[in-house]
Amino acid sequence: MENREQQDRDKTLITDAKQINVAEGNAKVIEWEDFEHELARLWSLSSALKEANEKKQSLQEKLQAFIQVKNESLNKLNELEEMRERLEARKVVMENMSARCKVAKEDAKSREEMLSTEVRALLVAGTSLSVAKKRLQESNRLLTEERGYIKLKNVQRKLRARQQYMISQLSLLYPVKIIVGPAQEQELESYPGSSRLGNSSVSKPINQGSLTILGLHLSMLPFTKMSFFTDKKEVQRSATALGYVAHVVSLIASYLQVPLRYPLRLGGSRSYINDYAPSVEPTSSDLSWDTAITANLKPAEFPLFLEGQDTTRAAYAVFLLNKDIEQLLNFIGVKSLGPRHVLANLKELLRTVQSSEYIDT
């Protein structure tokens, strides 16, 4: 029965082979003697083909698995590349953060040093404040007593007497006198003085041209009207008189311990006066100005003489000098006689300080 099945397979193979040969148009006649040999060859080829197909299928499966592994490897490689890029980005961020931390650490260290210095200064100031507070409490305790108040009044009287003496010596060095006649001069004590602040009865000041300081008139005409025909000697005498006034005002301010609003730079007949006010008034949009900035403003300097100067600037300098005298008058409680009466205001300042009322005030 097996032989029959073998013969059937052989016939089937022969038939398939014939059909193949016929389909290809290459019909081949096989002799019966060669049939078994040809059949064995075909069987061997069939086995080889089957084995080749199996190997092909196996290789195809392996190749598919390899391709899958390759794809997975590529995906993993891409993921690793992305992770590496993210790691590099994180590394850059960490370096930046490290640099910022370093800068912040240095800044914090410098701030700590500054704060330490400020704390030490505050401790010193606190100690000084504590000492000053104790002294103030002791002074208040002494003042609350009747003897303490009397002692303070006596000290004030001595201080005012000392100021009066020094200013009286100054009035002897720079006497301000009134011309009564063509060649007569009257001492400043006989001049009708103005009243104290708050008193409405004020005497009318005499003409500014009738006053002299150390024998020199202070004529304001050259400061308001300067021409080619103006007397040069009169200009020089006015500058010298202004230098005298500036010196007197500076000394009186130092004696009375009054800081002048418009400081003076003394130079005899070539003196100057400073104005620290800004030349342009700040607008409402400039409210951010700092007091430190205002304190650092450079002063504008104005000449108290006319030679080689602008008459407007020189006249403004005289106006500022009179404002200084007015500041001193207000300090001792006396009204000013007006913005154009420089010598009259100075005379009234000297007269008031040398009066007995000044010590008893």
Instruction: Dig out the tokens for 34 from the structure.
Output: 């060669």
Q: How much is the pLDDT for 285?
A: 46
Distance CA 183, CA 91 (A): 99
Residues in the chain: 361
Does 164 lie in the same domain as 128?
no
Paired residues of 220 in beta bridges: none
Does 316 lie in the same domain as 265?
yes
- Burial class, 289, CB count within 10 angstroms (exposed 0-12 / middle 13-18 / buried 19+): exposed
Does 265 lie in the same domain as 335?
yes
Residues in the chain predicted with pLDDT less than 70, given as ranges, are 1-30, 143-149, 180-209, 220-231, 278-297, 361
Q: How much is the pLDDT for 223?
A: 60
Torsion-angle region of residue 98: left (phi > 0), alpha (psi -120 to 50) or beta? alpha
**Domain at 318, CATH number:** 1.10.418.40
Does residue 175 fall inside a structural domain? yes
Does 225 lie in the same domain as 115?
no
Q: Are 238 and 309 in contact (CB under 8 A)?
A: no
Element containing residue 303 per DSSP (H, E) = strand 300-303
Does residue 138 fall inside a structural domain? no
Number of domains composing the chain:
2
Does 304 lie in the same domain as 170?
yes
Count other Cβ atoms within 10 Å, centred on residue 262. Answer: 20
Does residue 335 fall inside a structural domain? yes
Contacts of 146 (CB under 8 A, 6+ apart): none
Distance of CA 226 to the CA centre of its chain: 45
Does 311 lie in the same domain as 164?
yes
The range of the structural domain enclosing residue 157 comes to 149-179+209-278+298-359
Q: How much is the pLDDT for 220?
A: 65
Q: How much is the pLDDT for 26?
A: 56
- Burial class, 315, CB count within 10 angstroms (exposed 0-12 / middle 13-18 / buried 19+): middle
Does 226 lie in the same domain as 116?
no
Q: How much is the pLDDT for 88?
A: 92
Does residue 40 fall inside a structural domain? no
Does residue 115 fall inside a structural domain? yes
Does 163 lie in the same domain as 225?
yes
Q: How much is the pLDDT for 213?
A: 87
The DSSP 8-state label assigned to residue 270 in this structure reads G
* b/e map 48-79, b = 16+ CB within 10 Å: eeeeeeeeeeeeeeeeeeeeeeeeeeeeeeee
C-alpha distances in angstroms, 124 versus 111, 117, 136, 275? Answer: 20, 11, 18, 36
Does 344 lie in the same domain as 305?
yes
Does residue 93 fall inside a structural domain? yes
Does residue 322 fall inside a structural domain? yes
